Amino acid sequence: MILNSNFNPKVEGIVVFSKSLTSWFSRNQEWLAYFELTHAGCTQFENSATCSDDIKILGKMANAALTYIEANNGLSAPERVKRAEDAICIIYEEYKEALSDNARRQYAIYQEQIDEFENANVEENINTEVITKNLVKRNGTKNRRPGKGHRH
């Protein structure tokens, strides 16, 4: 994985310790770079009235992850990666209801979260189809039972 040049060069060397974190940064690096969410302390959108919830939440995730990744506090690289993953996961779970469908899929760090989202969408679509079919039957479009105005 090659990160955008706006990221601190140390980030790429640490992120590679985790497949999940590498995948998350790969999927989101264009948005992170575009909105300048490429360094610890990138909180410029948290209180913005004009910014979407998706970008505010991405900013929280990036800030938390990059704070652990860039920290030089005696933790090993794998420990920093684990803490960054946990931070992204906690923020995702806390705010996932506020995210758009696309952002839910994009911002999830673990495959299980993506699978959970996909399964929920499939179930919702199935339920919608069943309700639609029942409404068509109730309206009488395919109903052959005699009703008001019918004589047999």
Mean pLDDT of 63-77: 88
**pTM of the entire predicted model:** 0.73
pLDDT of residue 134: 58
Calpha distance 43→67 (Å, rounded): 11
Which of the given ranges, 37-41, 113-117, 125-129, 132-136, has the highest pLDDT on average?
37-41
Q: Regarding predicted confidence, which is higher, 130 or 110?
A: 110
Q: What is the mean pLDDT of the chain?
A: 82
pLDDT of residue 136: 56
pLDDT band of 150, cuts 50, 70, 90: low
> Per-residue pLDDT for 123 more than 70?
no
> Per-residue pLDDT for 13 more than 60?
yes
pLDDT of residue 138: 55
Radius of gyration of the chain (CA): 23
pLDDT of residue 147: 59
Name every residue whose Cβ is closer than 8 Å to that of residue 65 and which is 6 or more positions away in sequence: 21, 24, 84, 85, 87, 88
pLDDT of residue 119: 73
Name every residue whose Cβ is closer than 8 Å to that of residue 130 and which is 6 or more positions away in sequence: none
